[in-house]
Amino acid sequence: MEPRFNFNDTEFGRTFYRKFGAAAMAVNDSPLAKTVQELVKIRASQINGCAACTDMHTKDALAAGETQTRLNLIAVWREATVFTEAERAALALTEQGTRLADTRGVDDETWEAARKHFDNEELAALIALISVINVFNRFNVIVRTPGGGYEPGQYA
C-alpha cells in the first residue's frame, strides 16, 4: 500500500510539520508520564484507524519497556486488569475526546476521574496530547499512510 499523497513533498507541509512537531515535543517533554503518553497515543490511533501511528507508538512503547500483554489489551482496557486507575482515567478521557461526535464531549464522570489522578500540569499535557495525536491520525488516515515499516525511534 502506498500513501496517496506525501505532505512532506510540499513546502507548506514541511513548514506545518516542523511547527506542529514543536507542539508535539512540548507534550513529550511535559510532566505527563511517558507510559500514559504512549497508551493515549495508541488508543486514539486505534479508534481513528491510523495504521501508521498505531505501528509507531506500539513499537516505541515496546522499545521503552512496555509489556506486550498491556499493549495487546489497550483496545479492551475496561475489561483488563493490567492498567492503573490513572491510566484508566486517561484512556477514558482519550476515548471521549477522540469520539466527540459520538460522545457529545467529555462527560462529568470522566472529567472528574481525570482531575482526581492528574494535577493541572499533567491534565493540560493530557488534553494537548489527545488533541495532537488526533491531528496526526487525521493526516495519516486522509493520505492513507501505511503501517508496518516504522523502526523504534525513527523520528527522534
1 is a domain residue? no
Residue with cell 493515549: 40
CATH assignment of the domain containing 64:
1.20.1290.10
Q: Domain for residue 63, yes or no?
A: yes
- On average, the pLDDT of the chain sits at 95
Does pLDDT of 7 surpass 80? Answer: yes
**Does 81 map to a domain?**
yes
Residue 19 lies in a domain: yes
**DSSP string across 114-145:** HHHH--HHHHHHHHHHHHHHHHHHHHHHHHTP
Rounded to an integer, the average pLDDT of 19-36 is: 95
Q: Can you give the pLDDT at residue 55?
A: 97
Domain span including residue 91: 8-143
How far is residue 107's CA from residue 5's CA, in Å, rounded to a whole number?
37
Residue 118 is assigned to a structural domain of this protein:
yes
**Quick check: is 102 in a domain?**
yes
In a domain, 153, yes or no: no
Cβ(62)–Cβ(150) under 8 Å?
A: no
Residues 27 and 122 sit within 8 Å (Cβ to Cβ):
no
Name the one residue in this structure whose C-alpha cell is 507508538.
57
Give the residue among 154, 140, 153, 152 at the shortest CA–CA distance from 52. 140
At residue 61 the predicted structure's pLDDT band, cuts being 50, 70 and 90, is very high
pTM more than 0.85: yes
What pLDDT, on the 0 to 100 scale, is given for residue 3? 87
The domain tally of the chain equals 1
60 pLDDT exceeds 80? Answer: yes
Does residue 84 belong to any structural domain of this protein? yes
Planar angle of CA 20, 23, 25, nearest 5 degrees = 110
